[in-house]
Homo-oligomer: A and B are copies of this chain.
């Protein structure tokens, strides 16, 4: 089986990571690469690490360029996916790495992103309960956000099995690539290196409603989330410290049994042995999620620390994983739990 794949937004970080993975995917042939302002330039000027594609010229993000492929990955700014997806037709598998089709609530979309809601697509987190089936044969996939990926996978089993109270406190430390290539002063190397900062505190980050949506869905009830994103001096990786109060009578043994049941057979989610703590370095460039689970003895809070590579499992790896599922390929094809370290 040869899958012809196109990537829209190939000059950005998410698009570049999709291409990095596709170059190692045995069933994929890379077709059109498109961009916005960078159209007409070679890919090598934007992604010098993708040497085999260095001479490829970026086209415009139009149906002329993107039509005729088996799968089209959209790595576009939010608000841009709906129009091109509509033109691509029902036969093409369209995988949106952006935010446009993640939220189910149109009002929430409007409040957090502005503009009209583009609709809701099958949500590309196969490790959530009953979600893998939704993705099989799907023609549209909304790739989850990076913070929601690690936060939801860290807490979903505990919420699903009713082990914790419905309030979560999440502090997630991220590398800078999550903000994309946007030219903002606070993203300059001089500002970022040697310094850690917070932004969007107090429930103001756009990924908050997506985390709430996921945890509410698995718990079957309303969940409140306090989410604080922290920017750290590294290009990639997220480490999320996620906690919630353990319900009376529940124990760490209950928790470990729940997580073992949820993730024991998952190829990409790995619960670390006791005493071994996750680092983002261990998942760099891999599709793995590493979790460590404990109960704070003082407060009886469940604390789950999770790590992912925001560009791989947090974006492009999930996109390729969902492509595999949607097309009926083995789910792990072209993906790896082997990171690059040190």
- Name the B residues within 8 Å of A108 (CB-CB): none
- Does A173 lie within 8 Å of B173, measured CB to CB? yes
- A257 close to B (CB within 8 Å): no
- Does B338 lie within 8 Å of A235, measured CB to CB? no
CA distance A40 to B292 in the complex (A): 24
Q: Find A299's partner among B167, B196, B292, B294 (CB 8 Å cutoff).
A: B167
- A8 close to B (CB within 8 Å): no
- Does B296 lie within 8 Å of A203, measured CB to CB? yes
**Interface stretch (choices A72-80, A123-131, A141-149, A182-190):** A182-190
- Name the B residues within 8 Å of A52 (CB-CB): 337-338
Q: Find A189's partner among B45, B233, B297 (CB 8 Å cutoff).
A: B233
- Does B203 lie within 8 Å of A298, measured CB to CB? yes
Chain B min CB distance to A145 (Å): 17
- A206 close to B (CB within 8 Å): no
Q: A175-B190, A176-B189, A189-B187 are in contact. Are A282 and B167 (CB under 8 A)?
A: no
Chain B CB within 10 Å, residue with most, of A194, A198, A226: A194
**Interface stretch (choices A151-159, A273-281, A320-328):** A273-281
Closest to A239 in B: B196
**Interface stretch (choices A59-67, A82-90, A132-140, A283-291):** A283-291
Chain B min CB distance to A212 (Å): 8
- Does B173 lie within 8 Å of A281, measured CB to CB? no
Chain B min CB distance to A158 (Å): 15
- Does B233 lie within 8 Å of A201, measured CB to CB? no
- A195 close to B (CB within 8 Å): yes
- A251 close to B (CB within 8 Å): no
- Does A173 lie within 8 Å of B230, measured CB to CB? yes
CA distance A277 to B199 in the complex (A): 6
CA distance A24 to B276 in the complex (A): 25
Q: A188-B181, A284-B49 are in contact. Are A196 and B232 (CB under 8 A)?
A: yes
- Does A284 lie within 8 Å of B341, measured CB to CB? no
Q: A298-B224, A303-B202 are in contact. Are A191 and B340 (CB under 8 A)?
A: no
- Does A278 lie within 8 Å of B340, measured CB to CB? no
Would you mind naming 25 contact pairs between A and B with Cβ atoms under 8 Å apart? A16-B341, A44-B276, A51-B282, A51-B288, A169-B299, A169-B301, A183-B188, A187-B190, A189-B191, A190-B235, A193-B234, A194-B194, A195-B279, A196-B237, A196-B239, A197-B281, A198-B239, A198-B278, A201-B294, A201-B305, A225-B298, A232-B233, A233-B233, A235-B341, A236-B342
Apart from the given pairs A171-B171, A194-B236, A235-B342, 13 other A-B contacts in the complex at a CB distance below 8 Å: A23-B338, A24-B338, A48-B339, A49-B339, A52-B338, A193-B233, A193-B234, A193-B235, A193-B342, A194-B235, A195-B234, A195-B280, A226-B296
Q: What 9 A-B pairs are tightest by C-beta distance, nearest first?
A: A195-B281, A49-B339, A189-B192, A202-B294, A197-B279, A48-B282, A171-B171, A49-B341, A183-B183
